[in-house]
Amino acid sequence: MVTHQVDFEPIGRRHTCPKGTTLLEAARQAGVGIVSICGGRGTCGHCRVRILDGLAPSPTEADGKVFSPEELAAGYRLACQVEVLSELRVHVPPTSLTTPQRIQVEGRELAVPLQPAVRSYKVELPPRALQDLRPEVTRLRDALATQYGLKRLTVDSRLLPRILLRLQEWDGAANVVVRDGELVDLLPEGRLPLGLAVDLGTTKIAAHLVDLTTGETLEARGAMNPQIAYGEDVIARIAHAMEGEEQAEELRQAAVGAVNDLAGELVALVGRARQEIAEAVVVGNTAMHHLFLGLPVRQLGLAPYLAAVIDPLDLKARDVGLEIAPGGYVHLLPNIAGFVGADHVAMLLSTGIYRAEETVVGLDIGTNTEVVLRTGGRLFACSTASGPAFEGAHIRDGMRAAPGAIERLRITDTHVEYQTIGDAPPVGLCGSGILDAVAQLLEAGVLDEKGSMREHSRVRRGKSGPEFVLVAQGEGGDGREVVITRADVGEIQLAKGAMRAGINVLLDEAGLSPEDVDKIVIAGAFGTYVDVGSAVTVGMVPPLPLSRFVQVGNAAAIGAKLALISTEQRALAEEIARQVEYIELTNDPRFVGEFTQAMFLR
Ligand code: FES
């Protein structure tokens, strides 16, 4: 039997399959989950891949319906249409991946020269001579001065008492971690310092554990933000914090505790200890930033929505409760204004939008969506409260992106085809599934522009009005049914209306119309997996050719990582934050009009 090897990138999975196997089947055999809601019949158009090396077969009719001639020439194909006839190297974009693989492709990496704030130096103290009465810390400082020219080093007060014991335990051999003339950590010989980059989102927290000597991400993980228990959006959390110091402290501890837990989980995965993390960078919107640091938020909740701090901060990690190296620091990137915070700066940094020559709109979709417009050398930004609907909240059968969540959906006449995460029996709808459902119902004529549901064999009257049965009783996991209600559609109208209105106000500010936009960059966990076609159908984004959209993953987390491994990037972040012209939408009369219009589905 003739076999061929297929490399799936950027997942890095390699698989050998018999000649003639479809690429979709080869991916399945390799454990690479490719979205295939039509089951490989070539009708859903979701299993898009790009052949980088090897024999790309002639496009089929199905390929021709999905890709432009330029895309076909560039090697784009539907995985279900490709027979493996040679060794292949294939790129699988995040939008074609089912969730279990998504963690591995969290954002587009950008190569920057390594220039971390901390550096480690290998030291071996010679055995103590009888007449040498210098304390261990002095011997260590003298050795660093002689070997590396590091003079007048200060020593962190928490590290000071540990130096004697550690050096005795390790026979005088250690890696000394220095930051800006200060000794912040001591590691056993052969252990190099780690860094932690955190995107503290309103709903989710993402963290990367990074080797600070190579810049490589060792592990990345996400967790829910436990502050959710105190309110789903930033306004509810600010209200809770305003109840009193105790309540504000509850919120601070919830966030800090979650970051400590994530850091613990990450270091355990690579067999290291939390104390080996020498530096952390945390980004979040202004409210998350302030709640994490225990800064006052009252003024953020009231017009004119003033931040307490916008400058970048370098703080002792222990002072904010982060349990990393004894003398380790946490760096917080600058905020911009209002709710547009350090996470947006991080997103601008990692996507390169700040230096784009063409007209670019950037959307960082979350419970709060930040919108940026780059045009004519200027940067405009605003923040819209898009709410947690795309996280599955406030939706009757909504759920997080977990096994069993419908993530892709197609409706033809009375038939509903769907793809669930992990191919598990359907139990609910995650964000991309909800958006697909609304777009498909609109295209099928079941919804009108106002979001009202028309008669259909699958529409019935539920407790709170009409609802469309996507998965009938007995068909779903645990026999559950999955429906989308009129009220759910209303939640999506609010969320997408807020985003679109934000885009339109920025375009108006710059004197542009949607057709002037050359590129739309969509970031954020939901933004990565959303079907752009569905987003266009419901009017969440302007109706531009799909080739103008780019989905970049968790760009804020990648920006935090860039700031972690490069002080130059930190300086650049500060420059970018100063360049941004912030538009406060709450008091902007244009926003109300745009929002009312953008609530329509079209
Ligand atoms: S699985 Fe290939 S088009 Fe649907």
pLDDT of residue 138: 96
Atom of ligand 1 nearest to the CA of 80: 2
Of all protein residues, the one whose alpha carbon is nearest to atom 4 of ligand 1 is: 44
Atom of ligand 1 nearest to the CA of 47: 2
Q: Which amino acid is at 116?
A: P
Q: Above pLDDT 70, what percent of the chain?
A: 97
Stretch 246-263: mean pLDDT: 95
42 lines ligand 1 (CB under 6 A): yes
Whether a cis peptide bond, with omega within 30° of 0, leads into 589 is no
Tell me the pLDDT band of 421, cut-offs 50, 70 and 90.
Answer: confident
CB-based contact 361:519 (threshold 8 Å): yes
Pairing of strands 415-420, 405-412: antiparallel
pLDDT of residue 105: 36
Dihedral class, residue 465 (left if φ above 0, else alpha if ψ from -120 to 50, else beta): left
Pocket probe mutation, ligand 1, options 41, 97, 419, 436, max atoms within 8 Å of Cβ: 41
What does the CA dihedral 223, 312, 157, 186 come to, rounded to 10 degrees?
60
278 lines ligand 1 (CB under 6 A): no
Q: How far apart are CA 14 and CA 31, in angstroms?
A: 10
Cβ atoms within 10 Å of 28's Cβ, excluding its own: 19
| Assigned token pair, 297 | 């938020």
pLDDT of residue 101: 44
Q: Given CA atoms 146, 150, 151, 153 in this order, what sign does their dihedral have?
A: negative
pLDDT of residue 24: 92
Pocket probe mutation, ligand 1, options 48, 66, 80, max atoms within 8 Å of Cβ: 80
Task: Indicate the range of 323-332, 391-400, 428-437 predicted with least confidence.
Answer: 391-400
Digit-coded pLDDT (tens) for 210-223: 999 999 999 998 88
Residue found by looking up tokens 């950027």 in the block: 10
The top-scoring range by mean pLDDT among 87-91, 112-116, 318-322, 412-416 is: 318-322
Q: How far apart are CA 532 and CA 551, in angstroms?
A: 9
CB-based contact 121:144 (threshold 8 Å): yes
For residue 381, the cross-strand partners are: 372, 582
Pocket probe mutation, ligand 1, options 36, 60, 96, 409, max atoms within 8 Å of Cβ: 36
The three-state secondary structure class of 495 is helix
- pLDDT above 90: residue 386: no
| Assigned token pair, 547 | 């080739």
Residue 519, C-beta contacts closer than 8 angstroms, at least 6 positions apart: 356, 358, 359, 360, 361, 548, 549, 550
CA distances to 134, 264, 375, 376 from 549, in Å = 64, 37, 16, 20
Stretch 241-261: mean pLDDT: 94
Q: How far does the centroid of ligand 1 lie from the alpha carbon of residue 78, in Å?
A: 6
Q: How far is CA 549 from its chain centroid?
A: 17
The three-state secondary structure class of 568 is helix
- Distance in angstroms between the alpha carbons of the first and the last residue of the chain: 52
Q: Above pLDDT 90, what percent of the chain?
A: 74
Q: How far apart are CA 459 and CA 484, in angstroms?
A: 10
CB-based contact 540:435 (threshold 8 Å): yes
Q: How far does the centroid of ligand 1 lie from the alpha carbon of residue 79, in Å?
A: 7
Task: Indicate the range of 54-63, 254-263, 266-275, 386-395 predicted with least confidence.
Answer: 386-395
Atom of ligand 1 nearest to the CA of 66: 3
CB-based contact 346:555 (threshold 8 Å): yes
Digit-coded pLDDT (tens) for 3-62: 998 988 766 677 889 999 999 999 888 777 788 878 788 988 889 999 988 988 899 999
Q: How far does the centroid of ligand 1 lie from the alpha carbon of residue 18, in Å?
A: 21
Q: Which amino acid is at 32?
A: V
| Assigned token pair, 427 | 């139990």
Q: How far apart are CA 470 and CA 551, in angstroms?
A: 27
Against a cut of 0.85, is the pTM above it? no
Measured at the CA of 198, the angle between CA 194 and CA 203, to 5 degrees, comes to 150
The three-state secondary structure class of 225 is coil
CA distances to 197, 199, 408, 493 from 289, in Å = 14, 10, 34, 29
116 lines ligand 1 (CB under 6 A): no
Q: How far does the centroid of ligand 1 lie from the alpha carbon of residue 48, in Å?
A: 8
Phi–psi pair at 569, nearest 5 degrees = -65, -35
Q: How far does the centroid of ligand 1 lie from the alpha carbon of residue 13, in Å?
A: 21
The three-state secondary structure class of 345 is helix
Q: What DSSP character marks residue 111?
A: -
Residue found by looking up tokens 């270091």 in the block: 267
Pairing of strands 581-582, 378-384: parallel
Residue found by looking up tokens 């969730």 in the block: 99
38 lines ligand 1 (CB under 6 A): yes
Q: How far does the centroid of ligand 1 lie from the alpha carbon of residue 379, in Å?
A: 39
CB-based contact 411:440 (threshold 8 Å): yes
Q: Given CA atoms 245, 246, 247, 252 in this order, what sign does their dihedral have?
A: positive
Between 53 and 372, where is the model more confident? 372
Q: How far does the centroid of ligand 1 lie from the alpha carbon of residue 533, in Å?
A: 16
Phi–psi pair at 156, nearest 5 degrees = -60, 140
47 lines ligand 1 (CB under 6 A): yes
Digit-coded pLDDT (tens) for 95-140: 787 754 443 335 556 678 899 999 999 999 999 999 999 999 999 9
Between 484 and 108, where is the model more confident? 484
SS (H, E, C) 26-74: HHHHHCCCECCCCCCCCCCCCCEEEEEECCCCCCCHHHHHHCCHHHHHC
CB-based contact 430:398 (threshold 8 Å): yes
CB-based contact 533:540 (threshold 8 Å): no
Q: How far apart are CA 76 and CA 82, in angstroms?
A: 10
CB-based contact 331:280 (threshold 8 Å): yes
pLDDT of residue 526: 80
| Average pLDDT of the residues of the chain | 91
Digit-coded pLDDT (tens) for 426-465: 888 988 999 999 999 999 999 999 999 999 999 999 888 9
Q: How far does the centroid of ligand 1 lie from the alpha carbon of residue 234, in Å?
A: 39
Dihedral class, residue 264 (left if φ above 0, else alpha if ψ from -120 to 50, else beta): alpha
Helix (H) or strand (E) holding 24: helix 23-30
pLDDT of residue 35: 82
Q: Which amino acid is at 264?
A: G
Task: Indicate the range of 68-77, 399-408, 456-465 predicted with least confidence.
Answer: 399-408
Residue found by looking up tokens 């996470």 in the block: 343
Closest alpha carbon to 346 in 228, 531, 201, 535: 201
Q: How far does the centroid of ligand 1 lie from the alpha carbon of residue 1, in Å?
A: 27
Pairing of strands 428-429, 459-462: unpaired
CB-based contact 421:399 (threshold 8 Å): no
Digit-coded pLDDT (tens) for 339-370: 999 999 999 999 999 999 999 999 999 888 99
Digit-coded pLDDT (tens) for 277-323: 999 999 999 999 999 999 999 999 888 889 999 999 999 999 999 99
pLDDT of residue 347: 96
Digit-coded pLDDT (tens) for 489-541: 999 999 999 999 999 999 999 999 999 999 999 998 788 888 999 999 999 99
Stretch 371-394: mean pLDDT: 90
